Amino acid sequence: MDYDVQPTIDYFGWLYSNPEIGRQVNAEVVTKHDPLTTGEIFSYIKQESAKEAFFECTATIDDVVHGSAWYYISCSGCNSKATKGPTSLMCAKCGKVNITGVAQYRAKISVYDNSDQAIFVLLGYAGPQLTGKHASELVSTYFEANGNQGVNHEVPVPKALISTIGQRHKFCAKVTEHNLSGKTDL
């Protein structure tokens, strides 16, 4: 870990000021810093002893998966998915009603390396790192350009995300219980 770079300094400053978060860290989660191929990550998932893990993987984006929303509306406090209440947005995790919703990335991208192909889900800060723009900015720009389409209108995949096709990046791939149970590959 690079302890002298600003994002790491910021993270540890945040973690120090939020000690309750530090107590939630699961020591059972595996973190592997040596880069793996997508094939090696798939092999790990198939192991009977596999558990939640983080892996670094360098891959090339070859498509943005269409047919599902590329963003979700989150609670501005905890980033969990907000739900529609009778008159306002609510957050089940925070237990709050009448929350402010913020668009967050949840885009599925197809990636490949020399060994295999996988679908990664971009969440949180990974989207702005790839596109240079926050999801909320892209959603706002779309609605400003196209007028008020209504709350149920699906915003098409933005050019900022499509323009990442062909780019090679280092990804932090998180293997979760969802992957281990066979519900998704990666």
Q: Quick check: is 23 in a domain?
A: yes
- The H-or-E segment that residue 112 falls in is strand 101-112
How many Å apart are CA 12 and CA 80, to the nearest integer?
22
pLDDT at 124: 80
Q: Quick check: is 1 in a domain?
A: no
Q: Quick check: is 185 in a domain?
A: no
Tell me the torsion sign for CA atoms 120, 123, 125, 131: positive
Q: Output the domain CATH number for residue 150.
A: 2.40.50.140
- Residues with Cβ within 8 Å of 12's Cβ and at least 6 positions away in sequence, in order, are 3
Q: Quick check: is 165 in a domain?
A: yes
Domain membership of residue 110 as a residue range: 6-180
Q: Quick check: is 121 in a domain?
A: yes
- pLDDT values of the chain reduced to their tens digit, one per residue, 186 residues: 555 667 767 777 777 777 777 666 665 555 666 789 999 999 999 988 888 888 999 999 999 998 889 999 999 888 899 999 888 999 999 888 889 999 999 999 999 998 899 999 999 889 999 999 999 999 999 988 887 665 567 789 999 999 999 999 999 998 988 888 876 656
Number of domains in the chain: 1
**Phi then psi for 53, rounded to 5 degrees?**
-155, 160
Q: Quick check: is 108 in a domain?
A: yes
Q: Quick check: is 151 in a domain?
A: yes
* One-letter amino acid for residue 14 of the chain: W
How many Å apart are CA 41 and CA 34, to the nearest integer?
12
Q: Is 14 exposed, middle or buried (0-12, 13-18, 19+ CB in 10 A)?
A: exposed
Q: Quick check: is 129 in a domain?
A: yes
Its pTM stands at: 0.75
Look at strands 101-112 and 53-64 and give their pairing.
antiparallel
How many Å apart are CA 186 and CA 168, to the nearest integer?
18
How many Å apart are CA 79 and CA 136, to the nearest integer?
12
